[in-house]
Amino acid sequence: MNLKYILLKILIILISLIGIIEYTKISLSLVDGTYTKKFLSVSPFSKGAGEVDSLPPEVLDLRSLVEKNRLISFSLRFTSIDESKKLFITARSVEFLYPVRIDDNSRFIIFIGELPFLENCKIIDKFKNNTLYECVE
């Protein structure tokens, strides 16, 4: 027989053997769930996919305060942040936190940035650089 023909047969057998081994590994990982878990951790359909990549950390922190305190509306205030960043954070918060509303007349105020003193207000909660106040008039 021709040497080229023998090498081609060996190559086909090796490729087939590697394919069978990989197929077996995937089958076994499907049985114990590791393949599915690995896929879901990077899937665009998994819960929260893309939030960390596309949202500023201030908005993600706002969500933690809003969910923990079960707010339906709040007023958003800033300290020491430039205007363009304020607009960006506000716009992303409106979109991301819906149906929770940002309302300037709300008795709940969330400050992003340094901790200011507010008259007739008490601190309800603090998360990272955000502080939630409840104000009574």
Domain ranges of the chain: 3-42, 51-135
* Residue range 12-35: mean pLDDT, rounded: 78
Query: First CA to last CA across the chain, in angstroms?
Result: 98
Instruction: Decide if 104 contacts 75 (C-beta within 8 A).
Output: yes
Give the residue ranges of DSSP H helices in the chain. Answer: 3-32, 34-42, 51-54, 57-69, 83-96
pLDDT, tens only, 61-93: 888 899 999 999 998 888 777 788 888 888 998
pLDDT above 60 for 41: no
pTM of the model: 0.62
> What is the residue-averaged pLDDT of the chain?
82
Q: What is the DSSP letter of 105?
A: T
